Amino acid sequence: MSSERSFVANDGTVIGYRQLGSGPGLVLLHGALQSAASFTDLGAALADRFTVLIPDRRGRGLSGPFRPDHCMATEIDDLGRLLAETGARNVFALSAGALVAMHTALANLAIARLTLYEPPLEFGGVQPRYWAAGYEAALAKGDLPAALVAVLKGTGDNEIMTRLPAPVLRSFFAMMMRLRPNAAVGNGPPLATLIPTVHYDIELIAEKAGDLDRFRSLSTETLLLGGDRSQGYLATALDALAAILPNATRVEFKGAGHIAADNEGDPIRVAAELRRFFA
């Protein structure tokens, strides 16, 4: 059973996290359109071996709101404070959370082992934000269902989501959110809360776009995870990291996609790989 805990970040914002299990500390850092609740099943599968720490990144769940000056440095500070508060030295991170964890590891020697699941790196001709303009336009109009569809089509691997026309999907989500305004995935925050937070992760990708050479100095033991059903730009990023990181191993899950670690994915399978790596 998990307990809810919190600490105060450097800028005074409360950052909450869930803690369960016992053993070496292991942080599970979620990505966009997710919250700590998204890793409930993954955390439970690891709790017999680790003290699992699952923070809510800002703007959702147990944590306070974004500030106007939110940037990668804010995210790095938040993760760094969690590591300092708990003594954890192992980090698993997904998608935008993986982007945060990578940059934290560059600046924070407290991370001894790092697992990255498909960080959305922008470099060369790789454009993980190709869908962002549609999302931002819908968000500016207050059209949350259309914004959600833009995210799902741009990042998802679900065959229904990628094949059905956007207007059909928008109508479905509009009806769902109208009938159930507090509709959520699992026991996490409502979709209406999560959809606007994607904006901040898009900004993080843009802020850190560029040459990957900065990661050649990242000597942290690193496991690179991905699924063969994920969007092509995510696999390209993993290929590039595998080529430049001095201490990295790559594992690809057959039949899995971008959110395999999520409750809605295949968390038991991901947990098995994490148990081996962090042992």
Average pLDDT of the segment spanning 8-29: 98
Tokens representing residue 271 in the block: 């947990």
Please give the Cα distance from 45 to 180 (Å, whole number): 31
The separation between the first and the last C-alpha atoms of the chain, rounded to the nearest angstrom, is 22
What pLDDT is recorded for position 82?
A: 98
pLDDT over 80 at 185, yes or no: no
Residues 6+ apart with CB under 8 A from 73: none
Start-end of H helices in the chain: 40-46, 72-86, 96-107, 132-140, 144-155, 159-163, 166-179, 191-207, 232-244, 267-278
Please give the Cα distance from 161 to 154 (Å, whole number): 10
Residues 6+ apart with CB under 8 A from 243: none
Amino acid at 260: A
Average pLDDT of the segment spanning 178-207: 91
Please give the Cα distance from 268 to 213 (Å, whole number): 34
Q: List Cα–Cα distances, 254 to 31, 84, 257, in angstroms.
A: 21, 36, 9
Please give the Cα distance from 147 to 138 (Å, whole number): 5
pLDDT over 80 at 1, yes or no: no
Q: List Cα–Cα distances, 37 to 7, 64, 227, in angstroms.
A: 18, 16, 22
Q: Which domains does the chain have, with CATH numbers?
A: 3-126+211-278 (3.40.50.1820), 132-204 (no CATH)
The mean of the pLDDT values for the chain is: 95
User: In a 10 Å sphere around its CB, with 0-12 CB exposed, 13-18 middle and 19+ buried, how is residue 74 labelled?
Assistant: buried
Q: List Cα–Cα distances, 144 to 6, 125, 198, in angstroms.
A: 30, 29, 11
Reported confidence tier of residue 50, pLDDT bands at 50, 70, 90: very high
Average pLDDT of the segment spanning 50-57: 99
Question: Angle at CA 92, nearest 5°, toward 87 and 97?
Answer: 105
Return phi, psi of residue 57, to 5°. -65, 165
pLDDT over 80 at 240, yes or no: yes
Span 85-104, pLDDT tens digits:
999 999 999 999 999 999 99
Average pLDDT of the segment spanning 151-178: 87
What pLDDT is recorded for position 183?
A: 73
What pLDDT is recorded for position 188?
A: 86
Average pLDDT of the segment spanning 183-191: 81
Reported confidence tier of residue 158, pLDDT bands at 50, 70, 90: low
Residues 6+ apart with CB under 8 A from 83: 27, 89, 91, 108, 110, 111
Percentage of the chain lying above the pLDDT 90 cut? 90
Please give the Cα distance from 169 to 208 (Å, whole number): 31
What pLDDT is recorded for position 126?
A: 95
Residues 6+ apart with CB under 8 A from 112: 89, 90, 220, 221
Span 104-154, pLDDT tens digits:
999 888 999 999 999 999 999 999 999 999 999 999 999 999 999 999 999
